[in-house]
Structure 1
Amino acid sequence: MSDNNSAIVLGATGLVGREVVDRLLHDPRYTEVTCLVRRPLPASLFHDPQGKLNPVVIDFDQLQEYQGYFSVNHVYCCLGTTLKQAGSKAAFRRVDFEYVHVAAQLTRAQRCDSFVWISSVGADASSSNFYLRVKGELENAIMRMPQLPHASAVRPSLLLGKREESRGLESLGQSLAPLFGPLLQGRLKKYRPVSASEVADKMITLQRFTGNGENLGVSV
């Protein structure tokens, strides 16, 4: 397995994104980790003993102009927002669908080894729930994209971890998770709350490393 991989992370300051970047910086298989961000990263956010981190401030509305940064082995897309944060359905869709879809297109254009992004449990393009419908439409759009065979989506339920911003219902869910999580068994097990660190670990295992060339074009 190659120990000379490069990666790009979108959404590096989010709950899962921070976990992904931290792991990549300490993973001997990676020599460079580029983070596309909206604003400069605080120096204290990551421990980078080997100088792998390359933060790049960009305008996500012009993401297609940064295609050159996608000349890497692996793309980790951890972008995501909420309707409350976005302020409207159109703004939500711009982040959770359009930005991620453009990232997948740039991944394909640069012929990266693989692309992994965060979807959601229950994602369904025919759902009456707007959030789940957008997630499902995105899965369909990426999985059907020609010449992007090594793409995978992780589908977490409620994410556990400490966020910088407050999300009311999510905070309540996190406090109740130890009580109701163990009750979800069998077919309901996929709805158990999951830690951001577990999701990060899953994303890394889904990437296509040299010598591990299985086609990952399925949702997980």
Structure 2
Amino acid sequence: MKLLLLGATGLVGGRALQLALSNDAFSEVIAPTRTPLAAHARLVNPVASRLEDLVQACIAHRPDAVVCALGTTQAKAGSKEAFRHVDHELPVAFAQAAHAAGVGTFVIVTAMGASDSSLFFYPRTKGEVERDVRAIGFRSLTICRPSLIGGERHEERRAEGMALTWARRLGPVLPARWRVNPAAAIAAALLDAAIAAKPGCHFISSDAMH
């Protein structure tokens, strides 16, 4: 199958790219990025400074499924508007184009506590992207809601790093849903969902990704 992978330079997306390229279930991985990825025989890597400019080029490769691991922080993005562009507008734009082209399977990472009625900006944005992707009407939709994501990042996230440190220390006494989710476990869950393509809308909670 052909896989369109969004967010391949991120922590979870990068792990998903590695796993997909080593899995014979995927004949081709289309991964649009702002900076070039290392070449691979089964990798198609459209590059542009704005990912929204690559939507149609990616869909032209006729993927069978989409895995969306796009995500940033407000601090890195620089503003609420820029954060929302990455975490809401881009996923919805790719999802709409994919569905219109006949793609039946969409898998996305959001966050534990995502809710479009939240009083807080981050979980509300995650809840809104869930709501808007669900409204598109994919035959198979899987939404992964991890807790804190563990793994080696290229950039420093100080607040998140402190939270991860405490979560790891308290791991043995924390409920399973609050424990750190390894990026590799999340990536594997995303790819498994894309391959299975179960009809309907399904949620994968944080306690199922350890």
Q: TM-score, normalised by structure 2?
A: 0.90
SS at match of 2:88: helix
Query: Any gaps of 5 or more consecutive residues in structure 1?
Result: none
In the alignment, structure 1 residue 119 sits paired with structure 2 residue 120: no
Q: Distance in 2 between matches of 1:53 and 1:172?
A: 35
Going from structure 1 to structure 2, the CA distance change for 1:65 and 1:53 (only over 3 Å counts) comes to closer
- Is the contact made by 2:73 and 2:83 (CA closer than 8 Å) also made in structure 1? yes
- Is the contact made by 2:32 and 2:58 (CA closer than 8 Å) also made in structure 1? no
Aligned residue identity for 1:181: G
SS at match of 1:123: coil
- Correspondence for 1:166: 156
Aligned residue identity for 1:20: A
Deviations 1:95-154 (A, max 9, x none): 1000000111122012123111110000001101100001001111111223x1211110
Aligned residue identity for 1:28: D
- Correspondence for 1:56: 46
Q: Distance in 1 between matches of 2:200 and 2:119?
A: 28
Shift of 1:208: 4.4
1:219 maps to which of 198, 203, 206? 203
Shift of 1:168: 0.3
Query: Any gaps of 5 or more consecutive residues in structure 2?
Result: 205-210
What's the C-alpha RMSD, in Å, of the aligned pairs? 1.7
Shift of 1:183: 1.7
Q: Distance in 2 between matches of 1:154 and 1:70?
A: 25
Q: How many pairs are equivalent?
A: 203
SS at match of 2:126: helix
Shift of 1:23: 0.6
SS at match of 1:142: helix
1:72 maps to which of 46, 63, 67? 63
Percentage of matched positions with identical amino acids = 33
Going from structure 1 to structure 2, the CA distance change for 1:8 and 1:81 (only over 3 Å counts) comes to same
Q: TM-score, normalised by structure 1?
A: 0.86
SS at match of 1:154: strand
- Correspondence for 1:14: 10
- Correspondence for 1:101: 92
